[in-house]
Structure 1
């Protein structure tokens, strides 16, 4: 029930604002304002979204917690989306979310309401992971040195008469061109 409430109230608020602003400045300036906010939203999503992604990458490279840059990036994308949606109320909220101080307040407000119960990693193939030799880098919390031993051998192509017999091209038919059949 609470989830449907914004979908009922938001259009009513937007229509009321269109009527009020349209009465004050006129219909064409109101429509132009909505179009300009959409253009601004797309450009802000591009520019600030790229900057936020760069901040996330920088945090990962410096081995810092990337949650703050990720949250800023998510709020910037939300702000751009709200600017793109036609409406004056949603555009105002989108513009507010583009201000870094407002984003910090929103993140603190949401941070007080979010509780992390736990985190971890579980592999579906737990039996396989327990059979991995020690030092391989997997299973039971062991950390390997990142080196995996392996063997390889070089195999040459088969002789030319065998290779030539793998195609159907010499009889001119259009059937069976898979390379696996001979007719």
Structure 2
């Protein structure tokens, strides 16, 4: 439900920022900012696979897990995509995701939430019996067979 609110709130926020900031920058300034950040985002998207490969290779050379460089690369890619999207709010969030301390904070919080969600999950055990029929090689549920015999 909260994700629906985010998808509704972001365009409204972007429109409000375009009205407020666009009035100060003017049409030319607003369009220049949109095109400049989109160009920066495209350059970052294009360069990210090379940076990712370098970071992963460096992690493997020092016998470290490549998970952290790959996670940082994913966050940098999301930041670059947000740069391509037109809007002041998405540009701000994209810029923040490019900063290493912010990426570390985001990843720490994400992994903390994933661990908590994993601990909450309970294992569900469903008990049952099955019978192997040699003529079909398909295991069948004994309870269903008993019920079919009654019908």
Report if TM-score (shorter chain) is over 0.5: yes
Give the structure 1 partner of residue 9 of structure 2. Answer: 9
Point out where structure 2 has 5 or more consecutive residues left out of the alignment: 119-151
Give the structure 2 partner of residue 24 of structure 1. Answer: 24
Give the structure 2 partner of residue 82 of structure 1. Answer: 82
Give the structure 2 partner of residue 94 of structure 1. Answer: 94
* Structure 1 position 79, deviation (Å): 0.5
* Structure 1 position 61, deviation (Å): 4.2
Quote the RMSD (CA, aligned, Å): 1.9
Question: What is the correspondence of 1:14-93 to structure 2 with a 5 Å cutoff?
Answer: 14-93=14-93
**SS of structure 2 residue aligned to 1:63:** coil
Indicate whether 1:109 and 2:97 are aligned. Answer: no
C-alpha distance after superposition, 1:111-170 (max 9, x if no partner): 2111285xxxxxxxxxxxxxxxxxxxxxxxxxxxxxxxxxxxxxxxxxxxxxxxxxxxxx
Q: Are the equivalent residues in 2 in contact too, given 1:49–1:77 (CA < 8 A)?
A: no
Which protein has the larger Cα radius of gyration, Structure 1 or Structure 2?
A: 1
C-alpha distance after superposition, 1:69-105 (max 9, x if no partner): 0111000100000001111100111011111121111
Point out where structure 1 has 5 or more consecutive residues left out of the alignment: 118-183
In structure 2, distance between residues paired with 1:23 and 1:80: 26
Segments of 4+ in structure 1 off by > 6 A? none
In structure 2, distance between residues paired with 1:30 and 1:42: 18
**SS of structure 1 residue aligned to 2:2:** coil
**SS of structure 1 residue aligned to 2:32:** helix
In structure 2, distance between residues paired with 1:81 and 1:29: 21
In structure 2, distance between residues paired with 1:78 and 1:29: 25
In structure 2, distance between residues paired with 1:39 and 1:91: 12
In structure 1, distance between residues paired with 2:57 and 2:28: 43
* Structure 1 position 15, deviation (Å): 0.3
